[in-house]
Chains A and B, each alone.
Chain A
Amino acid sequence: MSRKTDPSTLRRVAANFARFRAESGLTQQQAADAADMSLSAIFKIEQALNMPSSVTLAKFAKIFRRDVWEFQAENPAARPIPAPRPEPSVWAAKVKPGVEVDDDLQRRVEEFLADISDEQLERIRKRKEEDLRKSVKPAKKAHK
């Protein structure tokens, strides 16, 4: 038994779908390719000719970086503009004598740095600061 979708919901999903796709910078063809669907399926969704299944919506929510419920929302908020990526770190390393500086070594250094999270570094930093504060003893009072 199939349940007929409310026309207003169908139109809302269609409009939101088209909007989210455009905001993601994808063409209909690119959206179709990303979801492994046909171009005509995308066309039908956006023209409110076909109500996508919940599985399809979940797939596109991931592609458009949206929540599934937003497809049916009245006025879904614009997706916040992602913060600009911070400048990448620069690094220098001292190698042991005889060690060749090649792409493999560079890759291992990059992996090493990526494995250490910002949070981890921040916690180490705070812990050291705390230790330093404790080690600074107040000045002794001069004896008369």
Chain B
Amino acid sequence: MPLLDMAEIIRTARELRDRAALPGPPYSARDLMVTCFPDVLVTGAQLPTGLTELVEAGPRGKVIFYNRKSHPSTHRVGIIHGLGHLLFDLVGDIVGTEAANKRCALSFGPHQASQPAAERRADLFAGEILVPLEDLDKMITIELFPTDKIERQHFDDTVDNLASKFNVPVGFLRFRLWDLLQFRRSNFFIKP
């Protein structure tokens, strides 16, 4: 996948969730890995400082190391993020990364511009597996990121509840809600 193809990410994530028959939310990262990727070893480790996840592909197979020091909800995100790297970067086609970087910077605004496309793509993949925009779109009926103080308080409470429901870190859920806002604005949303 040479470019940051959101439709392809959504399609792949949906297919994997269906294949693993995940009843979620929360969508089980373990069940997904065991069902769809039994050849990928997932194991915790005391990773070097600053890392949340590390994925390796080579002669000794495919391994995803999550950071054992992190919260379990962060493990889930790290594992699926690593799977995204395995699928799109380490094993598949990585041609066109430069173009993808440019497109990424254009598509997602300055706050994401410094992030390499491969990282952004793996984040989106993890997001689509664990917190599908399809689900969020149905659940979120209130204004996203409101400026009014009371509305903001209510929004933050909703974010906390959803993070608990999807079993992901609050920061990750906010990242997904930001994506939802972008997709709603661009009218880009794929219905099954």
Chain A residues in the interface with B (C-beta under 8 A): 86-96, 99, 105, 108-109, 111-113, 116, 118, 121-122, 124-125, 128, 132
Apart from A99-B50, A116-B45, list 10 A-B contacts with CB within 8 A.
A92-B90, A93-B53, A96-B52, A105-B51, A109-B51, A109-B54, A113-B54, A121-B60, A124-B41, A125-B41
Nearest 3 CB-CB pairs, A to B? A89-B58, A86-B59, A99-B50
A-B contact pairs, 25 of them (CB 8 A): A86-B58, A87-B58, A90-B56, A90-B58, A90-B90, A91-B54, A91-B55, A91-B90, A92-B90, A92-B122, A93-B54, A93-B55, A94-B51, A94-B81, A94-B82, A94-B122, A96-B50, A105-B48, A105-B51, A108-B49, A112-B48, A121-B60, A124-B43, A128-B41, A132-B34
Q: Hey, which chain B residues are within 8 Å of A132, CB to CB?
A: 34, 38
Smallest Cβ-Cβ distance to A92: which chain B residue? B85
B59 touches A96 (CB 8 A): no
Smallest Cβ-Cβ distance to A121: which chain B residue? B60
B52 touches A95 (CB 8 A): yes
Minimum Cβ distance to chain B for residue A57 (Å): 36
A99-B50, A105-B50, A124-B43 given as contacts; is B56 within 8 A of A91 (CB)?
A: yes
Q: Hey, which chain B residues are within 8 Å of A92, CB to CB?
A: 54-55, 82, 85, 89-90, 118, 122
Smallest Cβ-Cβ distance to A122: which chain B residue? B60
Q: Hey, which chain B residues are within 8 Å of A89, CB to CB?
A: 56-60
Smallest Cβ-Cβ distance to A113: which chain B residue? B56
Q: Hey, which chain B residues are within 8 Å of A122, CB to CB?
A: 60
